[in-house]
A = this chain, B = another copy of it.
Amino acid sequence: MNLSIAEENYVKAIYKLQDGDTAVTTNALAYELDTKPASVTDMAKKLKEKQLIDYEKYQGITLSSEGRKTALQIVRRHRLWECFLVDKLAFSWEEVHELAEELEHVRSEKLTNRLSEYLGNPTVDPHGDPIPDAHGKMVKPRPQTSLDQANAKRLVVTAVTDQSTALLAFLNAKGIGLGTQLEILAHYEYDNSIEIKIKHAPALTISEQVAKNIMVRPV
């Protein structure tokens, strides 16, 4: 099956939005891909034709098993390139998504596998997201919760769910990255902000919105 770049982007977006077997809505997909619902409907028909998705009028979209396989390959390439950019070319984590968005469309299994090997077959990308292996298998991430719901006091950052440049740049500024260890000093119930302390740095307070997007596990 030879997919265009546009088709690949749709398949990847559906994969991202599909939670379990809940169908993805036309509007959600349009918003994610920064396009119009009418365009999504058009593409849905094409992807159904190619048997990458299950789709019935007004019923939303789910990936077929073929579609899921395809999505995992694209995600694999995306995350491997992100690793390359960060580990080898010294890009920072907020710069790589956009570039990987293009690099992911170079469809060569040999290239992908060589790249993976060259990087030491990494299992997570610079944002803490798991990287599918050549067969589409991902390591099950160790149990993690968002920072706003963490019980333990001493935590380590394992991933970031919102990967917008804005949030990542904010976290950079505050010295928070993957692997950063932190301690919860206080929860303020007024706005659900959280006071945390990172080693060798003054305590700081972060908003609920930020805390929701930081994944952590007990250290």
Contact = CB atoms under 8 A, between A and B. Distances in A.
Interface of A: 85, 88-91, 95, 99, 102-103, 105-106, 108, 110-111, 114-115, 118
Contacts of A91: 110, 114
Given A99-B111, A102-B106, 12 more contacts: A85-B111, A88-B118, A89-B111, A89-B114, A89-B115, A90-B114, A91-B110, A91-B114, A95-B110, A99-B106, A102-B105, A103-B106
A38 B37 CA distance: 36
A89 B111 CA distance: 8
Contacts of A114: 89-91
Copies assembled:
2
Nearest to A117: B89
Nearest to A115: B89
7 contacts: A89-B118, A99-B106, A99-B108, A99-B111, A102-B105, A102-B106, A103-B106
Contacts of A102: 105-106
A22 to B, nearest CB: 34
Nearest to A85: B111
With most chain B CB atoms within 10 A of its CB, the pick from A90, A95, A106 is: A106
